[in-house]
């Protein structure tokens, strides 16, 4: 997911020079301190905010207990930042929390290391989400949400485009990823027949409501538009919809039905400072216990199939990778994005701004 929030922007070495363990538990770090001395630190970059504390408990502390040293940076691993580091030969990050568009944009530029599957365990992820330059770290969904104060019945994705049935503004992401798929599903394309995407058909569908659409850039912005009642329905990440549901005491509702299931990915910038230690950190983060902690804290679905049986019953409804929820969604096709993302994304921006 492409967030833009950040609360931490630590330099690679500054935290350790100051003796800071960031959010890691001192006792846990002390237990592995002796072994950690001999191992390189691994800088993991995410999008900050609540993810800092959640990632610390789920991943940093267990890795420290294994003798590893992981530092979180919440400044946001945007593709442009990664590419600039690689091209300037000044890489300070080791692992970045990205998505399939990163594979599409940075893979052809030789800006990503190949995942070392002799260290990262392919058997601990769904095969379809283990790519050459990235491996799934959690699952999330793009879903339909609505304001129950204005939409009394559960709407369908087709209803999202029916302004007569449900008047009012709609909310869409300012990014073609997932939005095109949801347009096509609403237009009647079966979940298992989305790819290759019929981009013109998707644009035509979006065009039917274009004058009533507001676009969001960041997850926080999507929350704000729905929370403030600017839109009666929206297409957004399920994690944000889940937060909205709690914040508004169920005024904002959402459904996984006809959503798009997507992988968050770990990618490793080319010539990362920690070298192979980055892959040992990724392997550590494949443990199901940490992934269930992340689901509890953030709503991110576990990527290790073994974690599914460990998910508490109360959390199954919010887990996008739960078999019941996965069954009613389409799955993103990374191969299509690697081939088509660049031109499609620009065409999408041109379309919504015209």
- pLDDT digit string, tens, across residues 247-266: 999 999 999 999 999 999 99
What pLDDT does 25 receive?
A: 43
Distance CA 143, CA 226 (A): 13
Q: Which of 47-61, 138-152, 153-167, 227-241 has the lowest mean pLDDT?
A: 47-61
Question: Is residue 199 pLDDT above 60, yes or no?
Answer: yes
Predicted structure pTM score: 0.83
What pLDDT does 148 receive?
A: 97
Report which of 88, 98, 71 is spatially closest to residue 271, judged by C-alpha positions. Answer: 88
DSSP codes of every residue in 177-238: TTHHHHHHHHTT--GGG-PSP-HHHHHHHHHTTGGGEEEE-SHHHHHHHHHTTS-SEEEEEH
Distance CA 163, CA 104 (A): 35
- Measured CA to CA in angstroms, residue 210 lies from 229, 253, 337, 348 at distances of 19, 23, 24, 12
Distance CA 183, CA 157 (A): 8
> Which conformational region is residue 299 in: left (phi greater than 0), alpha (psi within -120 to 50 degrees), or beta?
left
Distance CA 183, CA 160 (A): 9
> Which conformational region is residue 259 in: left (phi greater than 0), alpha (psi within -120 to 50 degrees), or beta?
beta
């Amino acid at each position: 997911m492409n967030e833009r929030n950040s609360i931490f922007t630590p330099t690679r070495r500054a935290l350790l020079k100051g003796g800071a363990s960031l959010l890691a538990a001192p006792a846990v770090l002390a237990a592995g301190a002796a072994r950690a001395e001999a191992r390189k630190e691994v800088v993991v970059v995410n999008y900050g905010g609540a993810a800092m504390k959640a990632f610390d408990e789920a991943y940093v502390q267990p890795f420290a207990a294994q003798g590893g040293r992981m530092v979180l940076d919440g400044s946001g691993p945007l593709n442009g930042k990664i590419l600039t580091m690689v091209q300037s030969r000044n890489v300070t990050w080791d692992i970045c929390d990205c998505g399939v568009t990163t594979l599409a944009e940075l893979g052809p530029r030789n800006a990503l290391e190949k995942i070392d599957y002799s260290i990262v365990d392919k058997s601990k992820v769904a095969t379809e989400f283990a790519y050459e330059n990235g491996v799934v770290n959690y699952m999330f969904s793009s879903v339909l949400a609505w304001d129950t104060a204005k939409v009394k019945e559960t709407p369908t994705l087709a209803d999202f485009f029916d302004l007569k049935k449900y008047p009012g503004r709609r909310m869409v992401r300012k990014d073609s990823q997932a939005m095109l798929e949801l347009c096509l599903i609403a237009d009647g394309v079966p979940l298992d027949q989305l790819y290759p995407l019929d981009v013109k058909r998707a644009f035509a569908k979006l065009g039917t409501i274009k004058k009533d659409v507001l676009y969001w850039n960041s997850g926080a912005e999507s929350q704000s538009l729905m929370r403030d009642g600017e839109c009666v329905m929206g297409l957004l990440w399920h994690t944000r919809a889940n937060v909205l549901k709690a914040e508004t005491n169920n005024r904002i509702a959402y459904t996984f039905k006809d959503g798009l299931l997507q992988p968050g990915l770990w990618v490793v910038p080319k010539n990362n400072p920690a070298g192979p230690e980055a892959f040992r950190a990724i392997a550590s983060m494949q443990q199901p216990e940490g992934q269930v902690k992340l689901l509890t804290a953030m709503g991110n679905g576990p990527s290790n199939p073994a974690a599914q049986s460990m998910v508490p019953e109360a959390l199954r409804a919010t887990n996008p990778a739960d078999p019941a929820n996965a069954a009613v969604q389409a799955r993103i096709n990374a191969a299509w994005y690697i081939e088509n993302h660049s031109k499609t994304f620009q065409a999408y921006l041109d379309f919504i701004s015209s």
